[in-house]
Structure 1
Amino acid sequence: MTYSNFTTTRLKGQHLTAIERGKIAAWHSEGISNRQIAKRLGVVPQTINNELKRGKLKQVKKSNGKCHYFFKYNAEFAQNRYRNNRQRCHRKEKFFQVRTFLAYFIELFKTKSYSPDATVGFARVHRLFSPAEMVCTTTLYKYIDKQRLEIKNIDLLMKTTRKPAQTKQVKNRKVLGKSIEARPTSVETREEFGHFEIDTVIGKRNGSETALLTLTERKTRFEIIRVLDAKDADSVSYAINRLAKEYGNNFSAVFRSITADNGSEFAQLSETLNGLTEIYFTHPYTSCERGTNENHNGIICRYIPKGESMDSYHRKEIEQIANKMNQLPRKILNYATPQSCFEQELNKVVS
């Protein structure tokens, strides 16, 4: 059915407001037709027909001692009925239905430092809960935002530490070796195993305390942590030489390349690994070119808060942090752990 000379000016799905319902009541009582009311509000006539039915209220009028009943459109009644219908149309609350899963998440977060997404993905991959017994990652974060769990936003690693992007003026700085621009495309696409990113992590900035040397494999996200006596080139060379002895003849096959920044602690890296593997250096002040390792350094802050002295931690305790990180399921690995992925790739190399 078509309506001649009729056009609507409202967006599709835009509901009537309380003010518009008041106008409908006034115009309808004046005897204005539904079609004219619809034209004034910019809606189709059927909308007005439906609205008059929704707000139809039974009323009574006494005359000569008798009660006469009739129906009349009431804007306030229609608005209340609309509001109640809207509240009932939403999906029912699922919070109390998934309390077992929420307890499971809290346990993994406290004992194994699983993120909300890692918990959801791990549970789905291993079918630990049915869909009705768990929630998605977004809903889990909403529960945390609304403080419905004992886990708060401040407990999450990335939620409160991300900073807005800032542009800095880059000064000229010497590149210590072969530029990252010469690195093969297969390294960038993570198609090939054995390409690492390297960096150092310090606690207090006094130049004489214990530091950490971190290496992250780009494909499997496997993390290696070694303790340094100090953040200098000699300590890095010593740790790298020990790592080369651990892997023996397989070192060159496992460590096909290493990407570092231009920090002074890596000044001897090319010389130390000459003939064993390829060394590439990022552009000055461009840590995003080894972003995988930067992200993993942030995970270390879960165990050693930034600015805290590392001398108070036992060396074995620090090295165990890598084991915990390698046991965290990763979304990018289809919620497998870096440990299992690294071992699979390592078996291929050894065989």
Structure 2
Amino acid sequence: MGEVYSHLSEEERQVIQIEVGNGASIRGIGAMLGRSPSSISREIKRNTWFPSNENESYRPYRPKRLKAGPWTGRYYIAGPAQRKADRRRSKPRKPYRLSHDRLWAQVTEWLGRGWSPLLISGRLRVLWPDDALMRVCPETIYRWVYSSRPLRERWARCLPRGHRRRRRHGGRRTSRFPIPGRVPISERPPEADGRSAFGHWEADSVIGVGCNLHTEVERRTRFLMARIVPDKTAGESVGAQLDMFSPLPAGARVSVTHDNGTEFAHHERLRDGLGMATYFADPYSSWQRGSNENRNGMIRRYLPKRCEIRMDMAKEVREIVDEINNRPMRVLGYRTPAEAFADELLELQDQQGCCTSK
């Protein structure tokens, strides 16, 4: 008989009682019933019975240190074991969090829109602050998505990083090409590191089939800009940067941090043309440009790897960027990057106006 995965029956408990009384081993009892030895061991340990459990008068008065007499021992008896199992089964259990229809419907709706579990959890607290049933933590959503193959195949594609199984994120390989005039990230000012100041950007590339995207993300507001470039050469990349940064006021383009790719070899043109400071992250440390990596991941949800990117897709790319910039973020207090960026520009304009009037 093979192993079965169901509750022990009263007949099986009677067999356990007889075999325990005969001195049989746990493995022997398990083989006889077709059960795992751990199940038999857990059953005996959980349902061992004191006579006094049923009637206190069964236990005579004796000091606890006295270990003599039959009533101070422990016994496995099928009847009391079955009653204890029935009592445990009848107790109400805490319902699964996503078993509430209203919560489940809202979570699946937002997952279908491409929202991350972290964003869903935070938005529920904002919209239903006094409803305890409309609460779910991000980890619960991830576990639900990966709990079975049908759920994974249906919903993992909606996650920001949807894989066949959950995994850690690894770093990217960087080029050994020596970049002239390279300034390490360790020399970046503290206000840029702590995101307390506006106007510090992170740069990277999104590789496609045919053409590529050059992306820039403002560190404080997480505002995204993107341009299509025909190739990954240094001239095309810095040309896209000059095109994106030139319309901005000087206070909104203070510095930019790159990775160590060869496409950023002409970074000095930003210093000479726009007065921007340029820095480079450490090798194999993509987390130092986490905002840009996160936004590139959002772009990949619309333009996955090995997707064709053409120069005539400028309108489509602009719509993608606008949708990303108008999605609320927890780190911004559930404001959108577009709202945060506009507020910073207005504040910068007010500061410049005050300085001009003085």
- TM-score, length-scaled by structure 2: 0.70
Q: 1:74 to 1:221 in 2, by over 3 A?
A: same
| Partner deviation per Cα, 1:157-185 (whole Å, 9 max, x = no partner) | 32428754669999855244211111011
Alignment of 1:42-81 (within 5 A): 74-81=79-86
Alignment partner, residue 64 of structure 1: none
CA–CA distance in structure 2, aligned partners of residues 309 and 106 of structure 1? 30
| Partner deviation per Cα, 1:115-164 (whole Å, 9 max, x = no partner) | 12212312322448833245343333343233596952243232428754
Q: Which moved more, 1:170-179 or 1:254-263?
A: 170-179
Contact 2:200 2:256 in 1 (8 A): yes
CA–CA distance in structure 2, aligned partners of residues 258 and 154 of structure 1? 32
Contact 1:259 1:290 in 2 (8 A): yes
- Secondary structure at 1:314 match in 2: helix
Paired AA for residue 322 in structure 1: V
Q: 1:34 to 1:92 in 2, by over 3 A?
A: farther
- Secondary structure at 1:346 match in 2: helix
Of all paired residues, the percent bearing the same amino acid is: 27
Alignment partner, residue 49 of structure 2: 24
CA–CA distance in structure 1, aligned partners of residues 59 and 229 of structure 2? 86
| Partner deviation per Cα, 1:5-55 (whole Å, 9 max, x = no partner) | xxxxxxxxxxx95313664358999x7769789998xxxxxxx9xx99xx9
- Secondary structure at 2:226 match in 1: strand
Alignment partner, residue 263 of structure 2: 265
- Secondary structure at 1:74 match in 2: helix
2:225 is equivalent to residue 200 of structure 1: no
Contact 2:326 2:338 in 1 (8 A): yes
| Partner deviation per Cα, 1:235-276 (whole Å, 9 max, x = no partner) | 1222122223322xx1x2101110012212111122233252
Runs (5+) with no aligned partner, structure 1: 1-15, 41-47, 56-71
| Partner deviation per Cα, 1:205-226 (whole Å, 9 max, x = no partner) | xxxx211011111111111111
Q: 1:142 to 1:108 in 2, by over 3 A?
A: same
Q: What count of residue pairs does the alignment treat as equivalent?
A: 299
Alignment partner, residue 69 of structure 1: none
Correspondent of 1:174 among 178, 196, 204: 178
Contact 2:177 2:262 in 1 (8 A): no
Paired AA for residue 92 in structure 1: P
Q: 1:223 to 1:35 in 2, by over 3 A?
A: farther
Alignment of 1:1-351 (within 5 A): 18-20=43-45, 23-24=48-49, 74-85=79-90, 88-93=91-96, 95-97=98-100, 99-111=101-113, 113-127=114-128, 130-146=131-147, 151-160=154-163, 163-164=167-168, 173-176=177-180, 177-204=182-209, 209-247=210-248, 250=249, 252-274=250-272, 275-311=274-310, 314-351=313-350
Runs (5+) with no aligned partner, structure 2: 1-40, 351-358
Contact 1:101 1:129 in 2 (8 A): no
Contact 1:25 1:73 in 2 (8 A): no
Contact 1:175 1:281 in 2 (8 A): no
CA RMSD, 1 decimal? 3.9
